[in-house]
Chain A
Amino acid sequence: MSDREFRELAELWRMQAGLLDGDQIRRRVKRAVMIERMRAIRDFTLLAVVAASMVWSFLEQPTLLTLFVGCIVSAIGLWPTWRRYKRWRIRSAAMGDESHMLRSLLALARGEVRYRSFWNLALLPALVCLIVWDLWRDAGGRLDQIEQAIASKNLYHFAFGPLAVGLLFVYNIVQHRRARRELCRLETIAQEIDEAEAAE
């Protein structure tokens, strides 16, 4: 392509006004800034609530099992916040090493695929563990009280768990597919960049 041909294309390209309405976009950006602040407040509140309930639960029944379950529940609750924070950090880096950014995005996407795969397998055992823990807690940690703890539960107690797990499973499957598509797209971009760099 000659320089003249390319200049003509560039002129044609720059003649496109685009979709930009300055005032509208300023308003949208201001809104996005506000939404981000509100999300930060929400995440902080969630963190505080999870920490407080863990401490409260441990103070109520100071056993190793309570501590263990509290830690697991906290980790599950805080994982999406942690992931959003990591993504935010990658996105906030204005300039710098592009391959580092791509590697970070790939690592995030792979992490999410693994996370979703893990939960697809772990949801049922997690449900069983939660039921056992709940009964154990109600029985005051005594095996001979387990039957009484079971008798104290009604049908809703036992229906709620499987229903919640079923919904979570479907949600997880959808998210897993989405994460795989994102990973696939990122891998294609990374491969194209690697090929271009190898050719240079």
Chain B
Amino acid sequence: MDQPGWDSGTESPAERREAAFNQIVSQYGPMVSRIAGGYEYDPDHRLELIQEILFAVWKALPSYRGEASLKTFVAAIARRRAIDHVAQAARRRKNSAVEASFTEDRLPDMIAEEADSARRLRAAISRLKAPYRDAVLLLLEGFSCPQIAAALGITVNAANLRCRRAKFELRRMLKGRA
């Protein structure tokens, strides 16, 4: 699904909007959740950020004309809201990405090692500078460079360069942490 079903014609605009939104939550919800996790470690505040992002998606849905893929549209909104959220978090003296601990201690032992790797990856991402963090999060979500360029509002060449630097920085952070 790249164009949600708001052209079906049989329902009212409000119903079509709701149906499209439900599809987006089902399909891109996990991506939104992971992107939010790249900016906000605290589970409660992360849930708040996810809600803010999806609320923004809900509001923006009528303006979606298919210029970019729906995935890019959602990711771009997620990123913009995340920047605003990070700034707002500073108001409550909360350096969420760095200070808060990532708690997943309910995970079974079998996947504890993977959880540890995921935790280290998150920690490395949290220490990246804002533009590189954005690029890495989208790369990890499987975005191509043109899609990243569209989501970040930069040229494809600039996106290519930024992705290369972002990977380099991520590697440096991961090695520094190991």
Binding site for B on A (CB under 8 A): 1, 5-6, 9-10, 12-20, 22, 25-26, 28-29, 32-33, 90-98, 101-102, 105, 109, 178-179, 181-182, 184-186, 188-189, 192-193, 195-197, 199-200
Residues of chain B within 8 A (CB-CB) of A102 are: 83
Q: Which of B50, B64, B89, B142 contacts A19 (CB 8 A)?
A: B50
Measured CA separation A14–B43 after assembly (Å) = 18
Instruction: Give the complex CA separation of A29 and B157 in angstroms.
Output: 37
Neighbouring A residues of B5 by C-beta, 8 Å: none
Can you list 14 contacts pairing A with B, beta carbon distance less than 8 Å? A9-B121, A13-B140, A14-B140, A16-B34, A18-B50, A20-B29, A28-B47, A29-B55, A91-B56, A95-B60, A95-B153, A109-B87, A186-B87, A197-B158
Q: Cβ of A13 and Cβ of B121 under 8 Å apart? A: yes
- B73 and A95 within 8 A (CB): yes
* Docked complex Cα distance between A94 and B21 (Å): 15
Residues of chain A lying within 8 A (CB to CB) of residue B170: 1, 9
Complex Cα–Cα for A28 and B50 (A): 10
Residues of B within 8 A of A25 (CB): 25, 29, 47, 50-51, 54
B130 and A200 contacting across the interface, CB-CB below 8 Å: no
Shortest 10 CB-CB contacts between residues of A and residues of B: A18-B33, A94-B60, A185-B90, A196-B131, A178-B91, A13-B140, A1-B171, A20-B33, A192-B129, A200-B158
Interface hits, B81-121 → A, CB 8 Å: 81, 83-84, 86-93, 114, 117-118, 121
Query: Does chain A have a CB within 8 A of B63?
Result: yes
Whether B11 is near chain A, meaning CB under 8 Å from some CB there, is: no
B141 contacts across to A, CB distance below 8 A:
10, 13-14
Q: Chain B contact residues (Cβ within 8 angstroms of A): what range?
A: 35 or more
Distance A26 CA – B165 CA, assembled complex (angstroms): 37
CA separation between A197 and B87, bound complex, in Å?
A: 20
Are the C-beta atoms of B90 and A182 separated by less than 8 Å? yes
Q: Are B51 and A28 in contact (CB under 8 A)?
A: yes
Contact A10 B140 (CB under 8 A): yes
Residues in A with CB closer than 8 Å to B83 are: 101-102, 105, 189
Which residues of the other chain, A, contact B154 by a CB distance below 8 angstroms? Answer: 197, 200
| Given known A-B contacts A6-B139, A94-B77, A200-B161, A16 and B37 have beta carbons under 8 A apart | yes
- B129's closest neighbor in chain A, by CB? A192
User: A18 and B34: CB pair below 8 A?
Assistant: yes
Which A residues are CB-close (under 8 A) to B36? 18
Q: Whole-angstrom distance from the CB of B33 to the nearest CB of chain A?
A: 3
